[in-house]
Amino acid sequence: MSHPARRLARALSPRSVATPLSALILAASAMASPVAASVDGQPVVVELFTSQGCSSCPPANQNLARLADRPDVLALSFGVTYWDQLGWKDTFASTQFTARQWDYAHTLHHAQVWTPQVVVDGRIDTVGQKLSQIEPLISAAKSRQAAGPRIEVSADRVSITAAAAPHAAAQVWLVRYDPRVVQVPIRRGENGGKTLPHRNVVHALVNLGSWSGPAATFAIKPSSDPNLRSAALIQDGPGGAILSAAKG
């Protein structure tokens, strides 16, 4: 398992954060939040932080592609930038996505970031290579019960129902992602010479505003790319728990 890029690593000082699966499941069940993400009928959010230049990431990309077929999961692939200096610039990466991973690192008390990392509902993380370590976290997220807000996403708006207020104003995010399998030829770096499939790649992450409990509607512009699909998240601040989510 090659977690944080060890060669990149002298600069990043990554550390192993592997945790026994039983402890991960226990922590996922115990972590409290003002509103649960797995409101009936709404998907569990699985975020993969990955890079085309990381030799450990292809199995994680494949796992995310499998999860993308599940109606009860919103699987999102975020390309990060800190591998770009090692010979291949990730064609999907964004500094915004790297910053999002750092927000999770701070909230989850990690000293560094690494790839491939999977974050489930903004509450708990694991490495992405083994689906057997991800699925129990999804199940634990679905088992939490609370009266959270419901979201609907249409072509021109995101609508949120009234619900119990979070501790502080939560962030409302619009996500544009590509549900297709996209084959990417890699010419240099650790994966040089390979063509790697990617799915549910995030192309845009837009902060629509805040939500504090009352019903709310946010106007959105239709996507300029007909291949992209829309989703919406309500998140308890930067790197916080996902309070609710919906696919468009």
Per-domain boundaries in the chain: 9-247
Crossing angle of helices 131-143 and 21-30, rounded to 10°: 20
Say whether pLDDT at 35 is over 70.
no
* Residue 71 vs residue 19, higher pLDDT: 71
* Residues 241 and 219 sit within 8 Å (Cβ to Cβ): no
**What percentage of residues in the chain have a pLDDT greater than 70?**
82
Answer whether 0.75 is exceeded by the pTM: yes
Q: For the chain, what is the HEC assignment?
A: CCCCCCCCHHHHCCCCCCCCHHHHHHHHHHCCCCCCCCCCCCCEEEEEEECCCCCCHHHHHHHHHHHCCCCCEEEEEEECCCCHHHCCCCCCCCHHHHHHHHHHHHHCCCCCCCCCEEEECCCEEEECCCHHHHHHHHHHHHHCCCCCCCEEECCCEEEECCCCCCCCCEEEEEEEEEEEEEEEECCCCCCCCCEEEEEEEEEEEEEEEEECCCCEEEECCCCCCCCCEEEEEEECCCCCCEEEEEEC
Q: Quote the mean pLDDT of the chain.
A: 86
Give the pLDDT confidence score for residue 146 in this predicted structure. Answer: 60
Question: Per-residue confidence at 2, pLDDT binned at 50, 70, 90?
Answer: very low
Q: How close are the terminal C-alpha atoms of the chain, in Å?
A: 35
Compute the distance between CA of residue 172 and CA of residue 215 in angstroms, rounded to an integer.
13
Q: Which of 29-38, 52-61, 76-85 comes out lowest in average pLDDT?
A: 29-38
Which residue did the predictor score with more confidence, 41 or 122? Answer: 122
Distance CA 124, CA 26 (A): 10
pLDDT of residue 191: 96
pLDDT over threshold 60, residue 14: no
Mean pLDDT over residues 73-101, rounded?
Answer: 97
